[in-house]
Amino acid sequence: MVAAWKTAGLTYNKYLAIAARVVRRSLKDQPRLAAERRGQMELKFAKWENGKQGDMKQLSTQGQ
């Protein structure tokens, strides 16, 4: 049996991230606030060409 998320093109990593996010959101207020801070991450990148930094691009944040 192939899981539904796999047929939709999600990776196992993504599946785990979604499951973890929903678990964090289901907590009572106090542990939830602590956990959600931990789940936040962001990544931005820029391409360097000829010694110059290109446009800074933001990758969409996860786990918010």
Partner 1 sequence: MNTLRAVSRLAIRARPARSFVRTYADAAGPADKIRLSLTLPHQTIYKASDVVQVNIPAESGDMGILANHVPSIEQLRPGLMEIIEEGAGGSKQFFLSGGFAVVQPDSQLSVNAVEAYPIEDFSAEAIRAQLAEANKVASGSGSEQDIAEAKIEIEVLEALQAAMK
Strand partners, 59: 43
Find the shortest distance in angstroms from Cβ 37 to partner 1.
Answer: 11
Report how many residues bind partner 1 under the rule CB under 8 A. Answer: 24
Residue placing its CB nearer to partner 1 in the complex, 9 or 51: 9
Positions in 19-58 near partner 1 (CB under 8 A): 19-20, 22-29, 31-32, 35, 38
- Give the number of other Cβ atoms within 10 Å of residue 21's Cβ: 16
60 binds partner 1 (CB under 8 A): no
With a CB cutoff of 8 Å and minimum separation 6, the contacts of 62 are: 17, 21, 39, 41
